[in-house]
A and B are shown apart, each in its own frame.
With several copies, the nearest count.
Chain A
Amino acid sequence: MIEFRNVTKSYNNSNHPAVANVSLRVERGEFIFLVGPSGAGKSTIMKLLFREIMPTTGQLFFIKRNIINFTERDILKYRRLIGMVFQDFRLLKQKNVYENVAFALEVLGQSPRKIRQKVPVALEKVGLTGKEKAFPSELSGGEAQRVGIARAIVKDPLIILADEPTGNVDRDNSKQIMKLFESINENGTTVIVATHAWDLVDRMQKRVIALKKGRIIRDEQYGGYATEY
């Protein structure tokens, strides 16, 4: 469904590329862990996929269509298919928890009735029932992160891109979130998770793509966080 062809991304004021000559195929329904040291380029790959940034060179396909040539309208439609969890949360400061999650559905033009049904379910899944009225500034780190996750899953996306979804969450919550992604994946949603949670990666034995200095150094079908060849 997704294909990277020799994608390189160099940021303006940086001497070596954040992502270097990456080629990669992701099939529909896959569950992928993106691992690698800090600064390896995981978030950059997520941002490329989300078309938040454009590759410096190379091609990037989504169901045979080149993302790079998308019009603005295409991009919006494309993003509505994706549930993205950002490493820096990116919650709407002016909206409370409920409104933040509901916003993902408002954008799709769903009816108020449907929204009132779906939002509480999503909040329940990430364990935030009771925090609906809190504003982002009133949340703990882990709570804010889970609002981001609820916002991504509430719209039943085609693809879930989760960048470090458990960085601020405790052990039990992390396990639960991974289980959540797993069950969503079992229903056919493609899931890509960038993470440092080595124990969960090891335990789940999914496809693991390891990056180092912007290059893919490992791509195993059933791998761990740091499996040796």
Chain B
Amino acid sequence: MEVTLLNINSLGYCLRQSIVSIYRNFWLVLVTAGIIAVSLSVFGGLLLIAVNTGQIIRNVESNVEIAIFLYDEANAEEIQFKLDNLVGVRNSTFVPKEQGLEEFRKSMNMAIPLDGLSGKNNPLPDLFRVKAVRAEIVPELAREIQEFPGVEYVEYGEKVIDILNRVTGWLNTVFLVISSLLALGAIFLIMTTIRISVLSRQEEIGIMKYLGASNSFIRFPFILEGMVIGWLGTLSAALVLGVVYYRLVVLLKQEALAFFVQPVTDMEILLPLLIGLLVIGTLLGGLGSMVSIHRHLKV
């Protein structure tokens, strides 16, 4: 009497069984999916915040300017050309000394008479304002430009750049720590939930073993079930996140704030996030089930 441990009949049976099981354990399935949904919503929400914070910082960074003060005898056009061809420069503007004086006057107060300083008496130099593509390269860029002939002095918000870089680094660390903790927490939660749900069927698993069921035969429906649960949970999480995020985006767009805080709406960034969540959820459900029933599979 030769017996195989798993054949095509068994596979069909397992598949049917998963469906019946989800149907009969409806409530438990719902709760488990709910817990996964909550965990992943929080986690996904954090990711969205991180993505947006990154965007804001990049926004601020890209507004950092390098001011290039020229000698009176400098060739502005040549420098302009050189700047335009310099890697890392986003754009550059020439500010003649007259404009500089005007800006100064404005910044002080219109009512103050500076007429005596116009024309020949203007003590200010011509200058270029340059924006870099990223904040990190500003110091490097400044050093290079300093070497250009005709450039007297290069200045940039050293302090601001410094602070920005530190803040970015700090935020990255914080986000990494928080999201690792959250991820660990979510995994722990999901595993525990599945484990408890398996625990409630411990007896059943035992009986199956007594009837000669192999581990894969017992495991398979559980894993399928876990994957469906994980997938359901993630889908709900994605839905919740999507709706909340969409509302926030609309809200922000209406606010004058929109310019300052531009929410990421790029599908190129958001779609992988969504798909990633779905994959993670499904895997978590499946793997969670697998690990959880492992301890109950001893003969």
Binding site for B on A (CB under 8 A): 50-52, 72-73, 75-81, 84, 86, 90-94, 103-104, 106-112, 151, 158
CA A91 – CA B21 in complex, angstroms? Answer: 16
Q: Report yes or no: B210 in contact with A52, Cβ–Cβ below 8 A.
A: yes
- The yes or no answer to B248 lying at the interface (CB within 8 A) is no
Closest-by-CB residue of B relative to A84 is B210
CA A111 – CA B267 in complex, angstroms? Answer: 49
Q: Report yes or no: B3 in contact with A80, Cβ–Cβ below 8 A.
A: yes
Given contacts A94-B24, A108-B3, 13 further A-B contacts (CB under 8 A): A72-B215, A73-B214, A76-B5, A76-B212, A76-B214, A79-B210, A79-B211, A80-B212, A92-B208, A94-B25, A94-B201, A107-B217, A158-B1
A-B contact pairs, 23 of them (CB 8 A): A50-B210, A52-B210, A77-B3, A78-B212, A79-B210, A79-B212, A81-B1, A92-B204, A92-B207, A92-B208, A93-B204, A94-B21, A94-B24, A103-B211, A106-B13, A107-B10, A107-B213, A107-B217, A108-B3, A109-B4, A109-B10, A112-B12, A158-B1
Q: Report yes or no: B9 in contact with A111, Cβ–Cβ below 8 A.
A: yes
CA A77 – CA B9 in complex, angstroms? Answer: 17
Q: Return chain A residues, CB-CB under 8 Å to B12.
A: 112
- The yes or no answer to B6 lying at the interface (CB within 8 A) is yes
CA A84 – CA B211 in complex, angstroms? Answer: 8
What 4 A-B pairs come out closest when comparing CB atoms? A80-B212, A79-B212, A109-B7, A106-B13
Interchain nearest-CB distance for B240 vs A (Å): 31
Residue in A75, A81, A108 whose Cβ sees the most chain B Cβ within 10 Å? A108
CA A75 – CA B201 in complex, angstroms? Answer: 22
Residue in B5, B13, B215 whose Cβ sees the most chain A Cβ within 10 Å? B13
> With A90-B207, A94-B24, A94-B204 given, is the CB distance from A77 to B212 under 8 Å?
yes
> With A76-B5, A76-B299, A94-B21 given, is the CB distance from A107 to B210 under 8 Å?
no
Interchain nearest-CB distance for B63 vs A (Å): 63
Q: Return chain B residues, CB-CB under 8 Å to A77.
A: 3, 212
CA A77 – CA B3 in complex, angstroms? Answer: 7
Q: Report yes or no: A73 in contact with B207, Cβ–Cβ below 8 A.
A: no
Closest-by-CB residue of B relative to A110 is B9
CA A51 – CA B201 in complex, angstroms? Answer: 22
Interchain nearest-CB distance for B28 vs A (Å): 11
Out of B6, B209, B210, name the residue touching A109 (CB < 8 Å): B6
Closest-by-CB residue of B relative to A86 is B210
Contact with A along B241-284 (1 / 0, CB 8 A): 00000000000000000000000000000000000000000000
Q: Return chain A residues, CB-CB under 8 Å to B24.
A: 94
CA A139 – CA B289 in complex, angstroms? Answer: 31
Within 8 A of A (CB), among B10-26: 10, 12-13, 21, 24-25
Q: Return chain B residues, CB-CB under 8 Å to A86.
A: 210
CA A108 – CA B21 in complex, angstroms? Answer: 20
Interchain nearest-CB distance for A190 vs B (Å): 14
Q: Report yes or no: A109 in contact with B9, Cβ–Cβ below 8 A.
A: yes
Q: Report yes or no: B211 in contact with A109, Cβ–Cβ below 8 A.
A: no
Q: Return chain A residues, CB-CB under 8 Å to B213.
A: 76, 107
Q: Return chain B residues, CB-CB under 8 Å to A111.
A: 9
Closest-by-CB residue of B relative to A78 is B212
Q: Report yes or no: A106 in contact with B5, Cβ–Cβ below 8 A.
A: no
CA A125 – CA B117 in complex, angstroms? Answer: 116
Q: Return chain B residues, CB-CB under 8 Å to A158.
A: 1
Interchain nearest-CB distance for A63 vs B (Å): 12
CA A84 – CA B212 in complex, angstroms? Answer: 11
Q: Return chain B residues, CB-CB under 8 Å to A75.
A: 299
Q: Return chain A residues, CB-CB under 8 Å to B21.
A: 94
Closest-by-CB residue of B relative to A79 is B212
> With A81-B1, A94-B21 given, is the CB distance from A106 to B9 under 8 Å?
yes
CA A111 – CA B201 in complex, angstroms? Answer: 26
Interchain nearest-CB distance for B206 vs A (Å): 8
Q: Return chain B residues, CB-CB under 8 Å to A92.
A: 204, 207-208
Interchain nearest-CB distance for A118 vs B (Å): 13
Closest-by-CB residue of B relative to A74 is B299
Q: Report yes or no: A107 in contact with B7, Cβ–Cβ below 8 A.
A: no
